[in-house]
A and B are shown apart, each in its own frame.
Chain A
Amino acid sequence: VKKTVLSLSLLSLLCGSVAFAQSSVATNPVGFISITVNGGSSTTPVLTLISPTLTNPIAYQSTVQSVSGTTITITGASFTANEFNGSNGTFYVEDVSTSQGGTGVLCDITATGSNSVTTAQDISSMVTAGDTLIIRQHITIGQFLGTSNTYGLQGGTSATSADEVLVYDGSSQNTYWYYNGSLGGTAGWYDLNFASASGVTIAPFQGVVIKRKTSGNVTITSTGTVKTGNTFFPVVNGLNVLGTVSAQGLTLGTSGLYTGTSSGVTASTSATTADEVTVYGFSNGSSTQSNYWYYNGSLGGTAGWYDLNFTPSGSVALAPGAAFVVNRKGGGAFNWSLPAPTSF
């Protein structure tokens, strides 16, 4: 596995707030993304939807020797016990080349054998012998936001007064906050049960909502490896707060969210019945949101992405470092296939 790292400061000058490094032979370009979290107030917190977008570097890469149920045996592997699980952190596998239609499928690792890994789900129907498999460690809250609150989100003595970090899984969320240590004990990230949360993972598909309760913007710098290749994200019925791994950035039109099949958002003749995509913004000190839907063209005119004023919206950006909401209205779960980036 080849890795290239260029000067981040140089890239910043070249590329502004979104910058990535690569060389002519790079397979793992690295870089950083600057993410702005907008200021709010205690009475009117402002929501900013973000995601790490970048990943941890590849920890291991090889080919699949065989797969049986949740056990994937890896060619030439010689792992130590629990190398990719347990106290070593939470890791996941990604199939990056397969004839089984599973290119881009990701799954958590729950156990590590001497030459195999056990996955949290049975993905044997999507993986086959000979596939290229990579293993990465999940991004954690401590890594993303700094174990000592590097970027200066508001800490406090409870989540009531501190900025809240909501990590979504479908429509359910877990809340985290930074305890400032002023009442004793150890400062750090905690959940609502006051359990340490620095090691809590943020999966690639998970969106993060920052509920900021004080004025002033905060800039978070997400650093890591650019995810290349196709990627599958699960979309379920109901609310989905989704991150993105596209360092290139997407638009609604290029996102692959609409496929014209059951493996994409449902189109319709109005936003009332179509699945909706909500992009959050910030204006005049408050959170804003814009809703988009896919018109199926059955009443005339051009099929495509539109906003609620029926303005064509295919060019609306799903920016690197951002997260957004998909409201799936009963069409069933599907794998959103994020297209591989064409440039970085």
Chain B
Amino acid sequence: MKKLTIFAAVAFGAMSASSHATSVGFSATPADRTLLTATSTNVPAGDLVLEGVFTNPNSFTYNPAISIAANVANMSSFGWQQFGLNPSNQSSEGSGSLQADTVFSGTVVGGSVTDVSGTPGSGQNASYFDNKQVYLVVFNGTTIAGSTQMGVFTSTSWTFPTNAGGLGDSITYDTSTTYNVTDVGNAGSVSNTGGPNSSGTLQLAAGVPEPSTLATLFGATGFLALLRRRRTE
């Protein structure tokens, strides 16, 4: 539901105090490519999607042998910068979010992020993203730390608007086949057909199992080892 209106002077402190706002949205629609996990199930609704820029994506390769958090850290070393965070100190200076949204029987990317910082043309903060290509990073969890799969996707048609300090600084894209979307560094794959919405798919790449799964595997392995030892004895 939309933010409730606030009129009383006493409430002003809770409102935004910024000069500029650049917004980039992705429209969740039945036409969007469906988000699939590595095992071809729907990415759960509400799972995390980030948008940002990637200055050296060709040098990044997804490593399934390390954690998702480690892969994201690796992305940062190749110029990944999340939109809505200050490029200098990574502090939050935005509002809104992207996420996996349920549309019909599938999940797709939806939502919007607004960066409310920076002097237009200064190269700082929101202006850092001006005209750069948009990259989406999709996770199979609501946090990076809680995810075991991820995908990185982009289109040359997705670009951040110029932070000019006015009303035209917002743009909305979608992940339909209208756009030629590609994966980045083998982090996921893209299809133009299939998926619950028959609109193509964005599929995540498998990663190392999450800790609870590891514990289960370790427990099973230990149990088998114990059985083998007893048989040997």
Contacts and interface: CB of A to CB of B under 8 A. Distances in A.
B172 A175 contact: yes
Given A171-B18, A238-B116, A327-B19, A158 B174 contact: yes
A35 interface: no
A241 B9 contact: no
Contacts of B87: none
Interface in A289-344: 289, 325, 327, 329, 333-335
A238 B17 contact: yes
Contact of B5 (A47, A106, A123, A126): A106
Interface string A187-217: 0000011110000110111100100000000
A170 B20 CA distance: 10
Chain A CB count within 10 A is highest, among B17, B29, B30, B96, for B29
B28 to A, nearest CB: 4
A329 B29 contact: no
Nearest to A233: B7
A160 B19 contact: no
A131 interface: no
A233 B108 CA distance: 38
Interface string B1-12: 111111111111
A106 B7 contact: yes
A182 B95 CA distance: 32
A122 interface: yes
Contact of B7 (A105, A172, A175, A239): A105
Chain B CB count within 10 A is highest, among A192, A241, A287, for A192
A66 to B, nearest CB: 18
Given A194-B101, A238-B116, A201 B10 contact: no
Interface stretch (B53-61, B143-151, B163-171, B218-226): B163-171
B34 to A, nearest CB: 13
Contacts of B81: none
B178 interface: yes
Contact of A238 (B2, B18, B173): B18
Interface residues of B, number: 53
B176 interface: yes
B25 A175 contact: yes
A108 B2 CA distance: 12
Contacts, number: 183
Contacts of B101: 193-195
B189 interface: no
A205 B5 contact: yes
B127 to A, nearest CB: 15
A195 B114 CA distance: 19
- Chain A, interface size: which category? 35 or more
Contacts of B178: 160-161
A25 interface: no
A152 to B, nearest CB: 20
Contacts of A238: 16-21, 116
Contact of B2 (A201, A232, A241): A201
Given A92-B5, A192-B26, A193-B101, A171 B21 contact: yes
B172 A159 contact: yes
Contacts of B15: 169-170, 234, 236, 333
A205 B170 CA distance: 21
A258 B66 CA distance: 60
A112 to B, nearest CB: 15
Contact of B17 (A159, A237, A335): A237
A306 B123 CA distance: 31
Contact of A174 (B2, B26, B168): B2
Given A159-B25, A192-B111, A90 B4 contact: yes
Contacts of A334: 9
Contact of A107 (B1, B8, B31, B166): B8
Which A-B residue pairs are the 4 nearest by beta carbons?
A: A203-B5, A159-B27, A333-B12, A183-B30
Given A183-B197, A200-B2, 13 more contacts: A107-B7, A120-B11, A121-B10, A158-B176, A171-B19, A171-B21, A175-B112, A183-B30, A185-B30, A237-B17, A239-B19, A239-B20, A239-B21
17 contacts: A92-B5, A105-B8, A122-B8, A172-B116, A173-B23, A183-B29, A185-B30, A192-B111, A194-B27, A194-B101, A194-B110, A236-B16, A238-B19, A238-B116, A239-B167, A289-B166, A333-B12
